[in-house]
Structures are given as C-alpha cells and as structure tokens.
Chains A and B, each alone.
Chain A
Amino acid sequence: MTTAPEHIIEVKEMVKKFGSFVANDRLTFHVERGEIFGFLGANGAGKTTAIRILCGLSYPTSGEIMVAGHNVYNEREKIKRKIGYMSQKFSLYEDLTLSENIRLYAGIYRLGRREISSREQQLLKRLDLSHIRNKLIRDIPLGWKQKLAFSVAIFHKPAIVFLDEPTGGVDPITRRQFWEMIHDATLEGITAFVTTHYMDEAEYCDRVSIMVDGRIEALDTPASLKQQYESKNMKEVFLKLARS
C-alpha cells in the first residue's frame, strides 16, 4: 500500500527526444491532488508528447516521473488503472448508444452488474440524458457527447483525469457547464489535467503551465501570471510568452 502523496503528479527533469529533436526539454513540475491543472502551449510545443508519457502510453527518454504514486517506467498498468482520459478527437464510440457506451466502460473497469445499472441510471439522470439513453452517440449534439464522455472518463473514480482539448468546438454555454463539471469532480478529490486553446478557460484553472518549444516557460496561478506579465487576461499572458 502506497501512501497518498500530496503531489499526484511529480515530474523531475523529464526529457523526450525523437531522434535529434527534443520534444520535452527537462520538464520539472508537479500537480497537486485535487487541483485543476491547465497545461497550455502552442501547437507543436510538446504538450501531447508529455501527456502521452504521463498516461503511460510512451516512455520518456530520461527523467523521474511519478503519476498517482507510480513510476512511468515499470508501473504503467497500475497508472492506467488510476487515470481517466478524454480528448476531443476520441471520446465515445459513435456507433454505440449512450447506454452501451457507459456499460462498455464500466465493464472495462470490472464493475459489478448491479453497480453498473444503478450508476448508469444515476449518471444519465444527472446529465439529464435519460430520455435518449438508446440513441446512437453520433446522433446527439457535440456538447452532450462531451459531457457524457467526461462522466464516463471519471466513472471509475480515477485519481487523475486527463482532458485533451475537451471543449473544442463546443458552444459557449455547454463549455461553461463542462467546466463546472470539472470543478465538481475536483471537489470529490479527482485531479484534472486539462489542455485548451480557449484562453478564458485558462482562468478556470487553479494553476497553469505554459509550454514553449518543449520547455515550461511559466507556471503559476492565473492571478499571479497576470500580475507577473502585466496582462489583463490569460490570453495576453499567452501571447506575450508564446510569441517571444
């Protein structure tokens, strides 16, 4: 039994190279248990590479990385059991119904039959989607789909949920409801690790890191970052950092 550390993610000197190209250049940061951590950066700055390593999908070249108390080198299976993952590109199976999707994921995490049923009902009720439980995912609006995808990603009560551009293309109201869901999840002790291109969403994070060319250029609370870079909002902070 590992004791729960305060830092749910601890990254020291993480390097990832593809040939001579350095995608992640000695990243050092931590994520605190229960916080919303914004992981920002321009396209190609190395965010996806880093997330893949943290999720146990690829190995770093070097560095010391602990996720949920497990080492990314030899405890990847344990890590995968403790995390949830959702991205804009892939979240749910389009040709399955809402109910089938939920049951599929519940089955993957080996929940009991009775528990699956009751949790499914709970979840659909909370999202107000019970009336369309037998519709195919491809037939429902993107916003609903993303909300359901998030609920499914935290269905097994993971320690951390990785959200890769979860709100891309979603309407402004649903986008906000989505962030409220993220916030509610953190109240239950789940840590959220989020990327986004909407800069107003950066404000909703407890702490934000900004990557530029494979390095973390800034990491702090939105309020401190704005002060530090003399900007009125996170968009300005981002433009100042990423442009230089």
Chain B
Amino acid sequence: MSLILDHIDKSFETVQALRQVNLEVQEGELFGLIGPDGAGKSTLFRIMASLLIPDSGRCTMLGHDVVKEYREVRQIIGYMPGRFSLYMDLSVEENLAFYARVFGTTVKENYDLIRDVYDQIAPFRKRLAGKLSGGMKQKLALSCALIHRPRVLILDEPTTGVDAVSRREFWDMLKKIQGEGITIVVSTPYMDEAEMCDRVGLIQKGNLMAISDPASLADGSDARLFSLRSNKGVYAYLDQLRKMEGCRHVWLFGDELHVTLRSAADVNQVQSAIREWADDSLEWKSIVPTIEDRFMELLKEEEI
C-alpha cells in the first residue's frame, strides 16, 4: 500500500475541512480526487505532504507516518502545490537545478524520467519562470516535482485554469510517469479528467464519497435518468420540466438537459407532456449516468 489515510479529521477555526476521510492507494496507482474549490482537496494533500497535522486519524506514506516520520516522507514524495510555487526570478533551468540540489541529486541523474516533460520547455530554458505561459509553468512545476525520482507524486490541481489541449497533454504525461512505477495522487475540478484515472474519489465539504474506478462509478445504470435534446435549444424546456411533479431535478448538460425523475414510474407522465410541446426535433432517451451525473446526485443527497 502506497498511501493510507485512516479517519482523518481536520478543522480550521470555524470550518471543518475534512471529516473522517479514509483512503488507500495502491503502489503504482493513478488516483484522482475530484471536487470543487473549498471541498478540502488542498488540505488533504497538505496532510499527505507532511505540511499539516491532522486533528485526528493517521496518514502513512509507504509505511511512514507523515507526522512522526516527516523527514522520511519528505524524501520520497514529489509535491506540486495548487498554486504555482517556483521562483519567478530564476530561469527554467535554474529552478530545476535548484530543486535537484535540494534533494541531493543532479538534473543529469534523473533526466530520463523528466525528458518527455522537460523537452517541451527546454527551448525556453534560459527564460525566467515568471515569463512562461500557463501550460509551460505547469510542465516546469511537474519537472521540478519529479527531478528526485519520488516514489509518490502528489499533484494538487495541476490542470486548473489550463486549456483543454494542454490538459490533455498533461494527462498523457502523467500516464507515462505512472508507467515508471510512480504512484500518483492528483486532484482536479474537471470531471472529464476522471476517466484518465485508475480510481477516483469524489470529495465535497470535507467528505470523501464514492471511491471507485471511473467505469463502475459512471455505471450502475439509473432507470430514473433521461436526457432531452432539441434543435431549438434546451433552455426553453428547463423551467417547464422543473415544474413537473415527476421531475426531481433538471440540469443543463452540454447541449442536452439531464432529467432525474422521482421514480422510474414517472416516465409516462413526462413523456406525454413532452409530446404536447410539438417539437419534432425533441430527443428524449434513457441514459447511463456520467461521473458528473453521479457527483451531482451525491451533492444533492448531501443537501438533503
């Protein structure tokens, strides 16, 4: 077991950031933690990185307690904080060389590990880190977190604010790093990135819910979930559906609406109402929930 979180609690003044969080991550696994801002992701990651002490519970990293054996933990982890945390006034190669030395190694020694990532920014190696674009900063930060060949890589929202193309490239790189036998724990607010992970956990208001592999998380076909599509756009139908007795909730979902019924039996009532709208382009069909559907369902349950 690479990482074990055992009933972790953590509060800040009036806010309870984490409640009874349990998690086990296998060696070599790519684990994704998905949840919005303020859900407790960064707090959890800082505990893993030995930077915060949990109020109660225990966290071990490859068998080392992150509180008592923080020195050992700091040797074996690579950590990339949520905020870009490199030296803006040092160049790309100076930043990399500095972190290599801090960990008692050299860039040369582990170059093969970061080659894929670093080669993309190598043409700018004399440029100051502060002058890099968002995507390049993120690649440099990843290189710096990898330079000492950590056994566990902890990445706190590496793709936040990054465009869809760079995000895709970033995940391709993570897959390769995983191939080197490095355990990766990564958090993200983008649901569509979940499918790249071996397993994901959904976190909201400090509760870690539904840990599973993406496929089975999205599965568990729900007879109450339907989608509605129309060439005329779907905004117009949003309010009408919400007014119906049988609809539990209705959400925009790309170019569709996703409708969750109170019970599968309500489908006839809704269908007959839809027919009266006389829109030929309407498409109403039963669907398999995506991870985002599941997450929204969990959020709603939480509220009730």
Contacts and interface: CB of A to CB of B under 8 A. Distances in A.
Interface stretch (A57-65, A69-77, A153-161, A174-182): A174-182
B163 A41 contact: yes
Interface of B: 35-39, 133-135, 157, 160-168, 189-192, 204, 231, 235, 238, 251-255, 292, 295-296, 299-300
Given A200-B192, A223-B231, 13 more contacts: A42-B135, A43-B135, A43-B161, A169-B36, A169-B157, A169-B160, A170-B189, A172-B295, A197-B161, A197-B164, A222-B255, A235-B192, A242-B165
Contacts of A141: 38
A44 interface: yes
Contact of A171 (B163, B251, B299): B299
A203 interface: yes
A164 B157 CA distance: 19
Given A168-B161, A171-B204, A43 B134 contact: yes
Nearest to A140: B38
A180 B163 contact: no
A229 interface: no
Interface of A: 41-45, 88, 141-143, 165, 168-174, 176, 179-180, 183, 197-200, 203-204, 222-223, 233-235, 238-239, 242-243
A233 B38 contact: no
B131 to A, nearest CB: 11
Contacts of B165: 42, 238-239, 242-243
B238 A172 contact: no
A158 B244 CA distance: 34
Contacts of A203: 254-255
A41 B165 CA distance: 9
B134 A173 contact: no
Contacts of B292: 172
A143 B168 CA distance: 26
A29 to B, nearest CB: 20
A242 B251 contact: no
B190 A242 contact: no
A173 B168 CA distance: 24
Contacts of B238: 180
A183 B235 contact: yes
Contacts of A197: 161-164, 167, 190
B249 to A, nearest CB: 9
A169 B189 contact: yes
Contact of B164 (A44, A169, A238): A238
Given A168-B161, A170-B36, A198 B190 contact: yes
A79 B83 CA distance: 34
A142 B41 CA distance: 14
Contacts of B164: 42, 197, 199, 235, 238-239, 242
A83 B166 CA distance: 31
Q: Which 8 A-B pairs have the closest CB atoms?
A: A171-B36, A169-B37, A43-B134, A44-B133, A42-B163, A203-B254, A142-B37, A242-B165
A234 B204 CA distance: 27
A42 B162 CA distance: 8
Nearest to A170: B36
B296 A173 contact: yes
5 contacts: A141-B38, A168-B160, A169-B37, A170-B37, A170-B189
